[in-house]
Chains A and B, each alone.
Chain A
Amino acid sequence: MKNYNYPDLNGKYGIYGGKYVPETLIPALEQLESEYLKIKNDPEFLYEYEELQREYNGRPTPLTFAKRLTEHYGKAKIYLKREDLCHTGAHKLNNAIGQILIAKRLGKKRIIAETGAGQHGVATATVCAKFGLQCIVYMGETDIERQKPNVFRMKLLGAEVRPVSSGSRTLKDATNEAIRDWVTNVNDTHYIIGSVVGPHPYPMIVRDFQSVIGTETKEQIIKKENRLPDYIVACVGGGSNAIGIFYPFIKDESVSLIGVEAAGFGINTNKHCATLTLGEPGIFQGMNTYLLQDPDGQISEVHSISAGLDYPGVGPEHSLLKDISRVKYFSATDDEALKGIDLLTKLEGILPALESAHAVAHLEKLMPETNPNEIVVVNVSGRGDKDLATIINTLGDEKK
Chain B
Amino acid sequence: MSYINNYIDQINKRNRKALSIFLTAGFPSKNNFVDLAKSVLDSGADLFELGIPFSDPLADGPTIQASSKAALDNGVTLKDVFQYSHEISSYSPKPIVLMGYANPIKKYGIKNFLTDAYNSGAKGLIVPDIPINEYDSFFEYGSEQLEVILLTTPTSPEERIKSIDEKSSGFVYCVSIVGTTGVQDTFSVETIDNIKRTRTIVKKNKMLIGFGISKPEHIKTFSPYCDGVIVASAVIKSILNKESKSETLKIISSLSDACNSL
Contact = CB atoms under 8 A, between A and B. Distances in A.
Given A26-B156, A284-B56, 6 more contacts: A23-B153, A24-B175, A24-B178, A167-B55, A183-B179, A283-B103
B78 A186 contact: no
B205 to A, nearest CB: 15
Contact of B129 (A27, A184, A186, A283): A283
Given A27-B157, A184-B180, A22 B104 contact: no
Contacts of B150: 23
A20 interface: yes
A176 interface: yes
Nearest to A179: B58
Interface stretch (A94-102, A225-233, A268-276, A289-297): A289-297
Interface string B159-200: 010001000000000010011100000000000000000000
A187 B133 contact: no
A282 B133 contact: no
A184 B58 contact: no
Contacts of A172: 56
A166 B62 CA distance: 9
B131 A23 contact: yes
Contacts of A26: 131, 133, 155-156, 160
Interface stretch (B18-26, B87-95, B105-113, B241-249): B105-113
Interface string B22-65: 00000000000000000000000000000000111011010001
16 contacts: A20-B102, A23-B150, A23-B153, A23-B155, A24-B155, A26-B155, A166-B65, A179-B58, A184-B180, A185-B178, A285-B58, A286-B129, A293-B107, A296-B108, A299-B55, A299-B56
Nearest to A282: B103
Contact of A296 (B69, B78, B128): B78
A282 B106 contact: yes
B72 interface: yes
Contacts of B105: 297
A28 interface: yes
Contact of A183 (B78, B106, B180): B180
Nearest to B65: A166
B68 to A, nearest CB: 10
B130 interface: yes
Question: Chain A contact residues (Cβ within 8 angstroms of B): what range?
Answer: 35 or more
A261 B107 CA distance: 23
Interface residues of B, number: 41
Contact of B178 (A19, A176, A184, A299): A184
B158 to A, nearest CB: 11
A27 B56 contact: no
Contacts of A293: 103, 107
A285 B133 contact: no
B151 A18 contact: no
Contacts of B156: 23, 26-27
Interface in B196-241: none
Nearest to A295: B107
B128 A297 contact: no
B204 to A, nearest CB: 17
A393 interface: no
A164 to B, nearest CB: 11
A20 B130 CA distance: 6
The 8 A-B residue pairs with the shortest CB-CB distance, nearest first, are: A297-B107, A297-B104, A184-B179, A283-B102, A298-B55, A24-B153, A22-B59, A297-B103
A373 interface: no
A24 B60 CA distance: 13
A10 B105 CA distance: 22
A368 B78 CA distance: 49
A184 B131 CA distance: 17
Contacts of B128: 22-23
A366 B43 CA distance: 67
B85 interface: no
Interface in B128-146: 128-134, 137
A298 B78 CA distance: 11
A298 B129 CA distance: 15
A43 to B, nearest CB: 31
A295 B178 CA distance: 33
B194 to A, nearest CB: 12
A155 B189 CA distance: 36
Between A21, A176, A297, the greatest number of chain B beta carbons within 10 A of the residue's beta carbon is seen for A297
